[in-house]
Each structure stands twice: as C-alpha cells, then as structure tokens.
Amino acid sequence: MKIDELVAVSGMSGIYKMVANRGNGLIIESLEDGKRKLAPSRKHQFTPLASIGIYTDDDTEELRVVFRSMLEQFESTPPVSLGASADELNEYFGKILPAFDRERVFVSDIRKAIKWFNFLNDRKLLNVEDLQEPEPEEDEKEKGEEEKIEK
C-alpha cells in the first residue's frame, strides 16, 4: 500500500486509507477491520502521511524516508518499545535518521512514528518499493531537462 493513500485523522486513533473525498469530509477505511465511514471535515482534520516530515539539522525528511530506513534496518536495529525511556527513543531514532533535530523532534513524535510504523509493518502494508521517492511527472521531467539546457 502506498503511503500517499494513508491519512491520520484527528480525534481518531490509528491510520486510515482515504477511499473518497466528499464536500463535507472524507470516506475513510479502517486498516484494522476494513470498515468504511464518513469522517466529517467539521469535526476532524486530516493529515496525509505523505505530507508529514521529520525535522533534520538542515531541513526536513519525509516520513516515507524514515519508514524506509526503519524497514531496511528492521533486522539489525528493531524499533524500541513505545514505553522505552526518552534516551532510548532518541538513541534509536538517531540510528534511523542520524541528522534528526533533537531540539525540534519531541519524544512524542518519535513514539508516534514508531507506533505508526509498527501498525503498518505488522499488517504487511510497508515495503521498500512503495516507500521510494515518487517519480516526477512527465511535465516536471521535461521542465528540468529544459532548465539544464538553458544553463
């Protein structure tokens, strides 16, 4: 499953698959039981997982990159327990994303990233191919090539 299809919904625990967009909210599908329901936009805010970034020393890193690193290092560096101490969580995240900004990334952010990763990985919804950088659109490829030629 592609991370672009997944959303976090305020006021609701877990991660959901966005099925359809309505004028008054989203139709979402639970990844636990497959049930669909309307989540009204008057009551909830929606955050696509693909739009979430983790602060680094220079900029931000997309959540897909963090998940890919966690997946690639799963055997050698498994995720720590959600109940681990702040030092253990920071140490683990430092192995996964060495340049993460320790001032702006809170322990609660690390816990949430691990919780989401475990949730998706336990359901076999993560794979390295789906977490690759998206291919640029044809127009963007051509535009980039034109800029190279002009320079």
Provide the CATH number for the domain around residue 58: 1.10.10.1650
- Model's pTM, two decimal places? 0.81
In a shared domain, residues 61 and 108: yes
Share of the chain above pLDDT 70, in %: 84
In a shared domain, residues 97 and 56: yes
Q: Which residue is listed with tokens 């949430």?
A: 112
Share of the chain above pLDDT 90, in %: 74
Tokens of 141: 């490829």
Residue 147's pLDDT is 55
The residue-averaged pLDDT of 78-86 equals 94
Say whether pLDDT at 49 is over 80.
Answer: yes
User: Is 50 in a helix, a strand, or coil?
Assistant: helix
The answer to the question of residue 34 being in a domain is yes
Question: Distance between CA 54 and CA 99 in Å, rounded?
Answer: 10
Say whether pLDDT at 151 is over 60.
Answer: no
The answer to the question of residue 62 being in a domain is yes
